[in-house]
Structure 1
Amino acid sequence: MIRNMLVSAAVAATMMVTGVAKAEMAFKPLKEDPKEIAFGIISTESTSNLKVQWLPFLEDMEETLGMKVNAFFAPDYAGVIEAMRFGKVHVAWFGNKSGMEAVDRSGGEVFVQTSKADGNQGYYSHIITHADNDKINKLEDIFKCDKSLNFGIGDPNSTSGFLVPSYYVFAQNNVDPKKCFKTVRNANHETNLMATANKQVDIAANNSEQISRTKLKQPASAEKIKVIWTSPLIPSDPMVYRKDMSKELKSKIKAFFLGYGRLGDVAGARKVLAGISDGMGLFMESNNTQLYPIRQLALFKDKLKIQKNAQIGDADKKEMLSKINAKLADLAILAANK
């Protein structure tokens, strides 16, 4: 039977103090393969909703691997990243930004990528507002920056809810959300969408997956929001496991993912996948190179912030930008040859 572990706020806070605040510390190595797999699930929605989506999949994973698979939930993305860093999570579903953090800080390794039922391997970030709001119809309408609007942004480790809008919407338009809006609130995709539909925030970051899922599950709420901005295509989510598990166990896990919906009870597996997010398709081969565009995006965002920061001296600014440009050049070569 699947056992669910919900990380308390106190434990998450402890992880933040001992982990994120000391990001230079190496991840805690595994002494041996785990006897049970802890599967981390990022908090894109409420835990109750995520359980409904993921537990049938984890039950099939448990049966195929022949070992217990426990669902691990945390109140924010950082909780899953840090749990992997300390060996409390062995496999996890991440977005690209949180997956990048898991690879860099938590001994993670991308091994497969999600897809849609039609084979599409991407999704979009959106800025949304209430459907009845006739004063906001395009991105420029939110840039009056008179502190009259309440803005809902995503988890700081979310790709579509935070990184992508931070760069494309705000950094490229030289707008600081904290100086522009009355309030800026961090929340998951589901909460931000419902807050917009219920007029608790004026605008919010969201994504195409959450909007599609809401149309299926709560169509009345979906009808209350409208999209005013759409990002470039974002690569589909990575699945990440601890790279220091044995090759044998990693191979078994990867084989399960790549075989799921292709081998055995194909119809049953595809029905389970269809119930995850807005309808998940088969898992596709992937590796850490899928994170290159996200790394470039994060560096471009940092570069813009440094260029526009008048408090940084010219010499320091030149040195900082030189380091970022060197990293971007390396990434460009790697991306071209992946």
Structure 2
Amino acid sequence: MVRKLIASAAVAVTALVGGVAQAEPNYKPLEKDPTVINFGIISTESTSNLKEQWIPLMKDMETALGMEVKPFFAPDYAGVIEAMRFGKVHLAWFGNKSGMEAVDRSGGEVFVQTSKADGSQGYYSHIITHVDNKEINKLEDIFKCDKSMNFGIGDPNSTSGFLVPSYYVFAQNGIDPKKCFKTVRNANHETNLMATANKQVHVAANNSEQIGRSLKKAPDAASKIKVIWTSPLIPSDPMVYRKDMSKELKSRIKAFFLGYGRLGDVAHAKAVLGGISDGQGLFMESNNTQLYPVRQLALFKNKLKIEGNDGLAEDDKETKLSEINQKLSDLKILVAAQ
């Protein structure tokens, strides 16, 4: 009975996209295994910086698999999600929110996740301001909502740059950013950090990985920002591949990632990993269950939004809240079963 209940909940949860159900997956099936692996990288910072970090790993993957591995970059997270959906990307590095979108909409499957060089996993979302800003020292200081401040938020598919601050910073405090700030602009982590350091925005969302990387690569800019809020721990980033590739090819890809830095030229691989983000460690075993916390977060955010919508008819509100509560209940079963 318990197994049936868990299976039923799992089916319901896989239909969630940010808390909204989709009837059928809407992605283009692969006709056969690719002869060239297209490797997608989400746009957390400039393409030139991302190439410097990830192409050495792709070259090693190319050697290990004996097949060409081509990088795929897009100006926003949605570009990589959509490319995977239409079979133009076969494997990608995502955050948890964009990884969830890839699983739900693009035929994706989580197979490993990143870690830190010390073996720890997870990172944090931050709200930052300029170090010289004496008027902003804590979260409450940005809630005067007189439209005097410019706010930099992340890509809409970013976990730490958008979803986490949207829920913890704004939804839980009953704040609508568009009504609170003079401007709200979407940008990647690197751009938001630099805009804060250069006083182009008063406040911005960011994360511990970008701050750590900037301390290494742009210390002058990093020294000009201060953190005024830190989120709960966010699960480490997932690596996602198309689930309709053959088991053989998926096994070879997974073996490469789990062996990288553990087998062969360990020193070289660890040096490559150390150059990614703020210093990455070995890849760890994972699957779609790592997305459960972000699914819960998206549902809670939508629930708060519906509860605070005075323009919604009570019957409609009750129906929508009932649907969300059922999905949260399903997720609770799945989390408990882990």
2:238 equivalent to 1:259: no
Asked whether the equivalents of residues 167 and 301 of structure 1 are also in contact (C-alpha less than 8 Å), the reply is yes
Q: Is 1:300 equivalent to 2:332 in the alignment? A: no
CA contact (8 A) 2:25 2:107 kept: no
Moved over 6 A (4+): 22-25
**2:238 matched to which residue of 1?**
238
Q: Alpha-carbon deviation of 1:25?
A: 6.2
> 1:26: Cα distance to partner?
1.4
Query: 1:54–1:276: 8 Å Cα contact kept in structure 2?
Result: yes
- CA distance in 1 between partners of 2:187 and 2:120 (Å): 27
How far did residue 257 of structure 1 move? Answer: 0.2
Matches of residues 291-330 of structure 1 in structure 2 within 5 Å? 291-330=291-330
**2:25/2:106 contact within 8 Å kept:** no
Residue by residue over 1:159-186, the C-alpha shift from the partner in whole angstroms, topping out at 9 and shown as x without a partner, is 0000000000000000000000000000
Q: Is the 8 A contact 1:40 1:73 kept in 2?
A: yes
Question: Matched residues in 1 for 2:332 and 2:276: separation?
Answer: 34
User: What amino acid is aligned across from residue 274 of structure 1 in structure 2?
Assistant: G
Contact 2:152 2:203 in 1 (8 A): yes
Corresponding letter in the other structure for 2:316: D
CA deviation map 1:265-295 (0-9, x unaligned):
0000000000000000000000000000000
Q: Does 1:268 align with 2:286?
A: no
Question: Which letter maps to 1:56?
Answer: P
Match of 2:157 in 1: 157
Distance 1:121 1:318 in 2: 38
Residue by residue over 1:198-246, the C-alpha shift from the partner in whole angstroms, topping out at 9 and shown as x without a partner, is 0000000000000000001111111100000000000000000000000
Matched ranges for 1:66-145 at <5 A: 66-145=66-145
Whole-Å separation in 2 of the counterparts to 1:245 and 1:318: 42
| C-alpha distance in 2 between matches for 1:236 and 1:115 | 6
The alpha carbon displacement at 1:23 in A equals 9.7
Partner of 2:29: 29
Q: Distance in 1 between matches of 2:90 and 2:305?
A: 35
The separation in 2 between residues aligned to 1:291 and 1:274, in whole angstroms, is: 25
CA RMSD of aligned residues (A): 1.0
Structure-2 change in CA distance of 1:264 and 1:25 (3 Å) = closer
Percent of aligned pairs sharing the same letter: 80
Partner in structure 2 of residue 167 of structure 1 = 167
Whether the aligned pair in 2 keeps the contact of 1:23 and 1:105 (CA below 8 Å) is: no
1:81-120 Cα shifts (integer Å, max 9, x gaps): 0000000000000000000000000000000010000111
Deviation digits for residues 277-322 of structure 1, max 9, x if unmatched?
Answer: 0000000000000000000000000000000000111111001000
Contact 2:103 2:110 in 1 (8 A): yes
Distance 2:304 2:84 in 1: 31
Q: Which runs of 5+ in 1 are unaligned?
A: 1-21
Distance 2:23 2:97 in 1: 16
Could you say which residue in structure 1 is the equivalent of 2:194? 194
Equivalent-residue separation in structure 2 for 1:312 and 1:279 (angstroms):
47
* Cα distance, 1:24 vs structure 2: 6.3
TM-score (norm 2): 0.93
Distance 2:183 2:61 in 1: 42
Whole-angstrom CA distance in 2 between matches of 1:23 and 1:124: 33
**What is the identity, as a one-letter code, of the residue corresponding to 2:231?**
S
Cα separation, 1, equivalents of 2:307 and 2:149: 27
Counterpart AA for 2:243:
K
Structure with the larger RCO, 1 or 2 (CA within 8 Å, 6+ apart): 2
Structure 1 CA distance, aligned partners of 2:163 and 2:208? Answer: 15
Are the counterparts in 1 of residues 25 and 104 from structure 2 also a CA contact under 8 Å? no
